[in-house]
């Protein structure tokens, strides 16, 4: 009789130990998943300095250029250095005494959101034309590697000391820069999250299999115990 009790106790202890181990593993995976989600949100909130279509971060450009040189190149919507500079030529402010410069992507987004209203005086029929001279001036600005700039406040073992014109930057980032972009970091985090989800499913399946096996053994043990009890009673 004592052997039966010991065996039953052993099965119960084994079950609870495995359950406790699975709970600890699951808890660690949940915490890691939460940390990666927080990291992803934090990274997504950080806009990349360089974009082939959006306006350029003026603080990045000012590292290698003076303010006076940049004053005439600022987008009047986002207040950054205009990319693909567009000059507004509306009749409503032709006598304003100044030139209104806008980044092409900024203007397209603004017109879409404001039903075609001009960003200066909110009138209809906004007229604009590309300013090739200013586009060339922006393209010729000497700048540092934008990925290095994005990592300036973070501890990072690698560095990129590249300097070149804005017009040359895309080629540098695509072909020679060794640093990881914010977009690549987001992809790595999402890949890690996918792996965690797969491991969670595998852990759950393993838990179910272990529970099923233990239940089956306990049932078999109870059946054998019942047979022994019946023989003993006879």
Which CATH homologous superfamily contains domain 58-180?
Zinc/RING finger domain, C3HC4 (zinc finger) (3.30.40.10)
DSSP β-ladder status, 85-88 and 142-144: unpaired
Task: Give the pLDDT confidence score for residue 39 in this predicted structure.
Answer: 46
Task: Give the pLDDT confidence score for residue 98 in this predicted structure.
Answer: 86
- Which of 73, 143, 144 has its CA nearest to residue 102? 73
Task: Give the pLDDT confidence score for residue 13 in this predicted structure.
Answer: 46
Q: Where are the domains of the chain?
A: 1-47+181-203, 58-180
For residues 86 and 130, is the Cβ–Cβ distance under 8 A?
yes
* Helices and strands (DSSP H and E) totals, the chain: 8, 5
Task: Give the pLDDT confidence score for residue 61 in this predicted structure.
Answer: 96
Residues in the chain, pLDDT under 50: 1-13, 15-16, 19, 33, 36, 39-40, 42-44
For residues 75 and 128, is the Cβ–Cβ distance under 8 A?
no
Q: What is the pLDDT of residues 26-85, one digit of tens each?
A: 555 555 545 545 544 544 455 667 877 899 999 999 999 999 999 999 999 999 999 999
For residue 123, give both structure tokens.
Answer: 């009138």
CA atoms of 213 and 217, how far apart (whole Å): 6
Who's near 187: CB < 8 A, 6+ residues apart?
none
First to last CA, the chain: 16
Residue 87 host element (H or E)? strand 85-88
């Amino acid at each position: 009789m004592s052997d039966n009790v010991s065996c039953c106790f052993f099965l119960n202890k084994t079950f609870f130990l495995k359950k406790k181990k699975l709970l600890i593993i699951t808890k660690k995976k949940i915490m890691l998943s939460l940390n990666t989600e927080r990291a992803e949100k934090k990274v997504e909130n950080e806009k990349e300095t360089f974009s082939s279509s959006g306006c350029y971060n003026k603080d990045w450009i000012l590292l290698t250029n003076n303010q006076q040189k940049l004053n005439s190149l600022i987008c009047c919507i986002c207040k950054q250095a205009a990319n693909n500079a567009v000059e507004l030529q509306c009749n409503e402010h032709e006598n304003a005494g100044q030139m209104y410069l806008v980044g092409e992507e900024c203007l397209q987004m603004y017109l879409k959101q404001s039903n075609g209203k001009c960003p200066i005086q909110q009138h209809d029929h906004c007229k604009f034309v590309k300013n090739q001279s200013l586009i060339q001036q922006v393209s010729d600005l000497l700048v540092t590697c934008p990925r290095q700039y994005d990592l300036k406040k973070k501890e990072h073992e690698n560095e990129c000391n590249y300097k070149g014109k804005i017009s040359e930057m895309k080629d540098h980032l695509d072909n020679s820069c060794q640093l990881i972009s914010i977009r690549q970091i987001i992809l790595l985090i999402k890949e890690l999250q996918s792996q965690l989800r797969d491991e969670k499913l595998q852990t759950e399946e393993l838990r179910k299999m272990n529970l099923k096996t233990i239940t089956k053994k306990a049932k078999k043990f109870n059946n054998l115990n019942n047979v022994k009890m019946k023989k003993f009673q006879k």
